[in-house]
Amino acid sequence: MTDISDILEKAKAEGRNYLLEPEAKEIIARYGIPVTKIKVGKDLDEVLKYAGEIGYPVVLKIVSPDVIHKSDIGGVKINLRNKAEVERAYKEIIAATKRFKPDARIVGVLVQEFVPQGTEIIIGVSKDPQFGPTIMFGLGGIFVEILEDVSFRIIPITRRDAKEMISEIKGYKVLMGARGRETCDIEAIINALLSVSKLAWEHQEIKELDLNPIEVYSKGLKVVDARIVLEG
């Protein structure tokens, strides 16, 4: 059992059942799933320092327990190529958050590497009243939102379940490199599904988990955004 109790305890102590993106990413990283490099800056100076350490281009995102859908309120700025762009984005993000909710608690601004586009997938966990934790897989964007092209299994899953979850969606051809796209690293997706299943099985206090999006490449993948909601 991988120890993530320090992160869960901190959220509980602060009366939160919602884990912030850096916390959720730390948890899934401990389960062996590749995530973007991240650092939380408390002010502009720290954010600029971390941007330099991570290397341009970077992405900035608001870290606030009051902001769940970050880009909806203008809390995400991508592909920032230099200090001037980071400074402007930082100010815009703070202003947008205050416009959205004047008393929003701002933990800081998350700096992360800007990852190249691959094929977007999503992995989710939710609790079924009858079957307990279930895992969902699908392609990102319109495939999930409009076409509802997803597969589900009850947790825990086997390697064979993971393979079937991937191959049974209609969009499987997209993963296999239809129309000149590069073939996705299916083995990396299988491993990510198994790791998420293990995490949700070992920590039943997780009520919802949402990795959306994950960029998949011909070799490897990277989680770009992560959300976890705890019971209670």
Nearer to Mg ion, 22 or 161 (CB): 22
Phi, psi of 63, deg, nearest 5: -115, 105
Phi-psi region of 87 (alpha: psi -120 to 50; beta: other; left: phi over 0): alpha
Q: How far apart are the first and last CA of the chain?
A: 22
Number of residues that bind ligand ADP (CB under 6 A): 16
CB contact at 8 A, 40 and 109: yes
Rule CB under 5 A: say whether 225 interacts with Mg ion.
Answer: yes
Name which of residues 197 to 216 contact ligand ADP (CB under 6 A). 213
Cβ atoms within 10 Å, residue 110: 26
* Helix, strand, or coil (residue 25): helix
**What is the nearest approach in angstroms of ligand ADP to the Cβ of residue 58?**
8
Q: What token pair was written down for 13?
A: 């102590």
Number of residues that bind Mg ion (CB under 5 A): 2
Residue from 3, 45, 69, 84 in contact with ligand ADP (CB under 6 A): 69
Rule CB under 5 A: say whether 161 interacts with Mg ion.
Answer: no
Site string for ligand ADP, 112-151 (x = CB under 6 A): xxxx------------------------------------
Name which of residues 78 to 117 contact ligand ADP (CB under 6 A). 78, 112-115
Residue from 27, 40, 60, 70 in contact with ligand ADP (CB under 6 A): 70
**What is the nearest approach in angstroms of ligand ADP to the Cβ of residue 232?**
23
Give Cβ neighbours of residue 146 (< 8 Å, ≥ 6 apart). none
**What is the nearest approach in angstroms of ligand ADP to the Cβ of residue 132?**
26
In 44-185, alpha helices (H): 44-54, 83-100, 142-145, 159-167, 172-175
- Choose from Mg ion, ligand ADP, none: what does 76 bind? Cβ within 5-8 Å by kind: ligand ADP
- Ranges of beta strands (E only) in the chain are 18-19, 38-41, 58-63, 76-80, 108-113, 119-128, 132-139, 150-154, 206-216, 221-223, 226-230
Residues that bind ligand ADP (CB under 6 A): 36, 59, 61, 69-72, 76, 78, 112-115, 213, 224-225
Which chain residues interact with Mg ion by CB under 5 A? 212, 225
